Amino acid sequence: MAEADRARVFDRFYRGADTSDRRSGSGLGLAIARQILESHDGRIRLESRGGAGSTFVLWSPERAVDGVARRLEEPPAGDPMR
């Protein structure tokens, strides 16, 4: 993913800087995913390396349930692309 796209990939209606190919879609999917996750105190993160692909990490916090192990309050650090 191009550096210019990484900065805006979660913006509504953004479909990428390179318009020479025939991209489909409205550019809303990642913006909607981010809004849903953030409204539930979650997060979405993009990990991208030029020429190696991109990974989207979705983190949704667990709500307190008796008898269930607690999750971390923050998404785990590290590189999910390893």
79 lies in some domain? no
pLDDT digits (tens, 9 = 90+) for 4-41: 788 888 888 888 766 555 567 788 888 999 999 888 88
> How many structural domains compose the chain?
1
Beta-carbon contacts of 78 under 8 Å, excluding residues fewer than 6 positions away, are none
78 lies in some domain? no
Mean pLDDT of the chain: 76
Phi then psi dihedrals of residue 53, to 5 deg: 100, 180
What CATH number did the domain enclosing 45 receive?
3.30.565.10
pLDDT at site 68: 61
User: Which residue range(s) make up the domain with 28?
Assistant: 3-59
Confidence (pTM): 0.63
Q: Are 54 and 24 in contact (CB under 8 A)?
A: no
Q: Residue 67 pLDDT > 70, yes or no?
A: no
